[in-house]
Amino acid sequence: MVAHKTQRMKDFRHYNLLSHNTFGIVAHCRRFVEFDTEEQLEELCHSLTDADHPIMVLGGGSNLLLTKDFDGTVIHSAIKGIEKTQDTTEHVLVRVGSGEVWDDFVARCVDEGWYGAENLSLIPGEVGASAVQNIGAYGAEVKDIIYKVEAMEIASGKKVEIANAECHYSYRQSLFKTEWKGRYIITHVTYRLSKSFTPRLDYGNILAELQSEGVLSPTPQQLRDVIIKIRREKLPDPEVEGNAGSFFMNPVVSREKYDELAAQYPNMPHYDVDADSVKIPAGWMIDQCGWKGRTVGRAGVHSRQALVLVNRGGATGSEVVSLCNDICNDVKQRFGIEIHPEVNII
């Protein structure tokens, strides 16, 4: 796929970010710049001055909650392209522009017979953000298929290639979210995908949904279709009700803490991380606290998935944060566990 090139970058002042955040929050930035080539980005990096700071790199805005106007420059990648760069008997390497829509890439993978991304179907956002957030769902994390990340250092305009191990990926974390925040802009991500299909069906209700459809051994497309169906049934459409998908991270607790809670809640869902750690679904705890479906002002908790906070219409970011804090306090009081937002709050 050949990237479409424009002569000039988009460059706007006092720009409304409403169409760039799936929560549907009205907020403005001082400057908004969109590039679609590495050359444009390099030119931009060399032209930035102190007056352009602070800088926020924005993908699809599907993991973002804006609580106020951003008094700085928002930079967005529109780099496109999906290119196979290596093909062996077992694997392919595929280089993808950071501005590609993530789920379009997953669909392309399934069509081409490149496997490993199926469980990540329908996650909103763009390819660049996948490498920042270490997106995950249904027992899969993108870190398991990322081969390397190409980026540009904002301060110098220098291109860098960063291997998977250097990114220090963990659950919904990477150095791009911590030490490297504001240092790099991702231009491309290369994924290492398998030519043989090994379905992962043991997370959530994937297997039960497949069995209900009479499918015992799904094809990659059948697995993708089922995951899309489950997500659409559980998660609200941002076009209808503003949201950022899963708002909270699932906490990982010690085996001792799990045993203590399991004695009180024998039917508590959980996922073993390792011999010493257990992941407990935050949505289940939020539901146990009675929050599912509740509305406070113009913000609320989704009626089918307590992990998702929604904009009922006209909510401000601050209203959503207030609701988030109330939920966190209730979970801490009842279960003795701190839960934290997965969403980037600005």
Enzyme catalytic residues: 172, 246, 342
| Residue 230, CB-side half-sphere exposure with 13 Å CA sphere | 23
Structure token digits, residue 31: 């400057």
Tell me if 146 sits within 8 A of 191, measured CB to CB: yes
| Residue 18 DSSP code | G
Q: How far apart are CA 112 and CA 34, in angstroms?
A: 30
**DSSP E strands: which ranges in the chain?**
10-16, 28-35, 55-58, 64-65, 70-77, 82-87, 91-97, 136-137, 140-141, 146-153, 159-163, 184-194, 242-243, 252-254, 271-272, 277-279, 295-296, 299-301, 309-311, 344-345
Question: Which residues is 77 bridged to in the sheet?
Answer: 35
The CA–CA distances, whole Å, from 20 to 8, 158, 232, 341 equal 20, 27, 21, 20
Region for 125 from its dihedrals, namely left if φ exceeds 0, alpha if ψ lies in -120 to 50, beta otherwise = left
Q: Taking CA 58 as the corner, what is the angle to CA 104 and CA 145, rounded to the nearest 5 degrees?
A: 45
Q: How far apart are CA 344 and CA 201, in angstroms?
A: 30
